[in-house]
Structure 1
Amino acid sequence: METIAKLQAKKNKEKITMLTAYAASLAAVFNKTAVDMLLVGDSLGTVFQGQKDTLAVTLDEMIYHATVVRRGAPDKFIVVDLPFMSYQVNPEKSLSNAGKIMKRTGANAVKLEGASELVLESVRRLTAIGIPVVGHLGFTPQSVNGLSGYRVQGKDRAAARKIQAEAKALEKAGAFMLVLEMLPARLAKEITRALKIPTIGIGAGADCDGQVLVCDDMLGLYPRAPRFVKRYAQLDTVISQAADTYITEVKAQKFPGAEHSF
């Protein structure tokens, strides 16, 4: 299993890979691969639950999915998202909720979005008691309404400077890694060079220290995906064809055969 020290040592030497996972079955498949990290993201709200955004995902749901992913992937470094309103109230609530995730799931770290003073104080206090934290800047899905939808962030100079300052603040507060989502590639490159901690990009260009993709997007389980996604398989077609073949064989009385019967 990777450790924080091993992951941080990859900066400027080896690209870090991360994929999301929400179920034990797929986590078990990923456990056999060389992927460095798994993220149990609150993206499960859109991917697994079919919701329009991540805002309705609860802490208990995150704990449930993280627990089953850990069962499927006992050998992987697992990061778990703190969901909307589980850490934005006060640092005490952040500590309590992050502690529940770590104690109940066997996760290795938690992830928070943004860099408000409340978030920075939560990062400081979490890391002070030994809970590793991954930051998340750029497009932050839990702020989708305030950001007026799914938009690239940091496109003008003022916005870019703000994100750069937030990245430095998160590093100083104790975050050991930073996810950069939907940023201009040049800005992500500048942030990556300015930080001592690794950056993980998603729609942020090739110069981040690593990359993360939502597993369902990467596997081609949806007919449409964001521009920054590359489909490495087209499993929606494979699955539908398998289901159609099953249906045909059952109706034609070809399945089950003698070899499938007791």
Structure 2
Amino acid sequence: MANLHINATLPPYIPLHHELVREFEAADSHHSSVLQEVQTAIDDVSAQGKAYIDFVLSDDNQAPVQVNHETLSTLLTTLRQHIVSKHELESWKLSAHQARARIRNQQRTEPELTAETMDLYREYGEKRQFADEIIDDYHDDKALKQHEGTAEKVVSTYDTYVQLRNLVYILQDPSNPLPFDADNEDDVAVAGGKISLRDPLSLDYYEDPLMSRKCMHVFSRATIYQYLAGTTGRSGKNCPVDGCEATISFNDLKPDPIMALRMKVFRKRGREQRNIERI
């Protein structure tokens, strides 16, 4: 009787069992739950940051306008950590989603691993396991975003973080250019090396400042809305600032947290000066 030779060695590549695929897909709800917790933490620290700025600049605070650097550093560090964590969790979730889509496609063509299909999978040779695909995709995406400075750009989209980071410089003089964030102020009206605090349309001090994404020029909400009256969300008019060739519309406008902070500091200092003059 001939001896039967059975190769019991597992192939290098093993397909994911259908039950594990379902568990993997169910993990998406866990990712969403963690993201929500991180977002809640961001909201909480942002609220603390706003409250701190309001305290420093409030009329009830009779002390000279100054900041507690330890408090400011703690708020900035904590807020940044939460924002970066959310950004990385979103990247991981995207990598898992992409891997999940590939797994579904593979399941349509790959039979389950059995004694009968063992030789078939040995013929596959070396092939990435699904977990390796997720990790590799995540690291590739992370490396690309680090190269592009994506995390820093994401952090800079949070108004409270931007205000906290620049609070010390603006407190020194609300019309001073900032040592960084130059992209936000390259084209803002500057006179004698100072940032103008006056709306270019009314020439009054800014009220509820909005910035154009197209050209970075800043306007008071009421005056730019009046200027754009009669246009639709996407249609627009030429920027009213002399020499600017950009076309701006309602959709191009966004709140300017830095100019808003400048005006808070400017008005706080004005109130302090009037109080001194009364004395």
TM-score under structure 1 normalisation? Answer: 0.28
TM-score under structure 2 normalisation? Answer: 0.27
Would you tell me which structure has more strand in proportion to its own residues?
Answer: 1
Would you tell me which structure has more helix in proportion to its own residues?
Answer: 2
Q: Which has the higher contact order (CA 8 A, sep 6+)?
A: 2
